[in-house]
Structure 1
Amino acid sequence: MEVVNSIPHLSAEAVKNHEAWFPGYVSTVKQTDPELIEVFDNFAFDEILNHGNLDTKTRIMVTMASTIAQHAVAEYRMMLRAGLANGVTPVEIKEVLYHSVPYVGIAKVIDFIGAANDFLTENGVKLPLPSQSTTSPEDRFEKGLAVQKEMVGVEMIDNMYKNTPGNQMHIQRYLSANCFGDYQTRTGLDKQMRELLTFSMLVSLGGCESQVKGHIRANINMGNDKQKLLDVVTQLLPYIGYPRTLNAIACLNEIIPEQ
C-alpha cells in the first residue's frame, strides 16, 4: 500500500515564529513525520511562544541551556542557529556553555563545545574569543565566596560552612572557588541571566529538586520573580516533557506559595 505524506496544518503564528527562529531552515522531519510536526510546532511555536513575557533572546538561551543539560546535541545545534539569528552573541553562546560545566559536568559539555566551535567557525567567528575571566588562582575563592553570598544569602552560606562536617568541607570550598569563583564571576552574562540558565539546567536534568529549590531562592535574590520562572518552565515544557515540568512547578510552589 502506498503511503502518501500529508501536509502539516500549521498555524500562521507557528510558521511565522519558526521562520524567525530558524530562517530558511527546511525540516526533513516535516516530510517524513508531518503529523508530529503539526502537533509539536503548533504547540511549541504558537501556544508556548504566545504565553508569558520572556523576550525571544531569553527563550532561546534558556532552551539552549536545557538542551545541554539533556545532552541533546542535535537540538542544541538548532538553538545555535536560532541564537545567532536573534541576537545571541558568540560570547553569550560560549558563556552559556562554560556556565553549564559546574552544573552539568564536562563529560556532557565537551560535545557541545565542539558543536559550538564548528558552528561559530562556519559563520566567520574567529576563535578563541576574548577572555571573560575576572579571577586569578590567588583570589578565586575570595571572589567566589562573595558572589555566592550575594546570590544565595550571607546567612545561608555562613551556616553551610558552620554545619559542614570536616571530611566534606573541601566540597564547600570547591563550590565557592570553582562553581562561583571560576564561573559565576565571569563577564559576558549578567547574574540574572546566569541564574535563569542555572534554573533551566537543573529542572532539565531531573532529580535535582533540592538544588532547584536553592536556585529558586537565588533567582529571587537576583530579581527573577516567580512569574518569570514559571515562564521559563513553560518555555522548556516542549523540550523536557511534563514530568520534569511538574516537578519544577512543585518546587516553585513550595518555595514561593501562591497567595
Structure 2
Amino acid sequence: MTEHTQQATGNEQSRYDRGWDKLKTIDGQAGERVIASLQDIAPDLGRYVIEYAFGDIYSRPTLDSRQRQLVTLATLTTQGGCEAQLHVHVNASLNVGLTTAEIVEAIMHCSPYTGFPRVLNAMTVAKQVFQERGLLPLV
C-alpha cells in the first residue's frame, strides 16, 4: 500500500477497500498478482486499478459480474495485444460463472467486428486457460 493510500480520506479508503474486495472476488489470485507486480515499479497504478476500475466501475449496480466479464472479453479481444489481460479475464469469467461455451461464443462474436487474427489470438488465450483449469476437451 502506498503512502498516499495509507493517508487516504475515509471516502478514498472505502473506494480502495470496495475495489480490493471486488478484485479478489472477480479475479482472485490472478488479480492480486497483477497488483503485486506493480509494487516495485508503479504502485500508484495498482491503486488506480483497485480504486477506479474495481472500486468505481466494477462496483456499479446495473450490470452483474457475468455481464461485465462478457463486455471485458469483447473489449480485450477487439483491442488486440491484450493477451496477458485476457488470460486474467478468461479466468475471471469462469470465476463469476460464465461457461466455457459462453466465453468461446463471446470471443467468436467479435470476429465480424475485429477480424480473425485478433479472435484467433483471444481463442488461443482462452484455450490456455481452459487447459490450465482442466476444462479441455470441450464437448
Which range, TM-score by smaller chain? 0.7 to 0.9
For the pair 1:199 / 2:103, whether they are aligned, the reply is no
Letter aligned with residue 147 of structure 1: K
CA distance in structure 2 between the partners assigned to 1:210 and 1:158 by the alignment: 14
Letter aligned with residue 103 of structure 2: L
Equivalent of 1:250, from 99, 110, 124?
124
CA gap of 1:162–1:246, structure 2 versus 1, over 3 A, is: closer
CA distance in structure 2 between the partners assigned to 1:188 and 1:199 by the alignment: 18
CA distance in structure 1 between the partners assigned to 2:26 and 2:122 by the alignment: 20
For the pair 1:144 / 2:19, whether they are aligned, the reply is yes
Tell me the residue number matched to 1:182: 56
For the pair 1:229 / 2:113, whether they are aligned, the reply is no
What's the offset of the Cα at 1:156? Answer: 3.5
CA gap of 1:247–1:148, structure 2 versus 1, over 3 A, is: same
Tell me the residue number matched to 1:211: 85
CA distance in structure 2 between the partners assigned to 1:163 and 1:204 by the alignment: 25
What's the offset of the Cα at 1:238? Answer: 1.1
Letter aligned with residue 21 of structure 2: A
CA distance in structure 2 between the partners assigned to 1:161 and 1:239 by the alignment: 31
CA distance in structure 2 between the partners assigned to 1:229 and 1:166 by the alignment: 33
CA gap of 1:146–1:223, structure 2 versus 1, over 3 A, is: same
What's the offset of the Cα at 1:234? Answer: 2.0
TM-score by length of structure 1 reads 0.45
Gaps of 5+ in 1: 1-135
CA distance in structure 2 between the partners assigned to 1:219 and 1:175 by the alignment: 18
Quick one: percent identity of the two aligned structures?
27
CA distance in structure 1 between the partners assigned to 2:83 and 2:32 by the alignment: 22
- Pick the structure with more helix per residue: 2
Higher gyration radius (CA) = 1
CA gap of 1:159–1:229, structure 2 versus 1, over 3 A, is: closer
Q: CA RMSD in A?
A: 1.7
Deviations 1:174-203 (A, max 9, x none): 111111111000011111100110110000
What's the offset of the Cα at 1:138? Answer: 4.3
Native 8 Å contact 2:16 2:47 kept in 1: yes
Letter aligned with residue 200 of structure 1: A
Deviations 1:18-42 (A, max 9, x none): xxxxxxxxxxxxxxxxxxxxxxxxx
What's the offset of the Cα at 1:208? Answer: 0.6
Q: Secondary structure at the match of 1:139?
A: helix
Native 8 Å contact 2:73 2:107 kept in 1: no
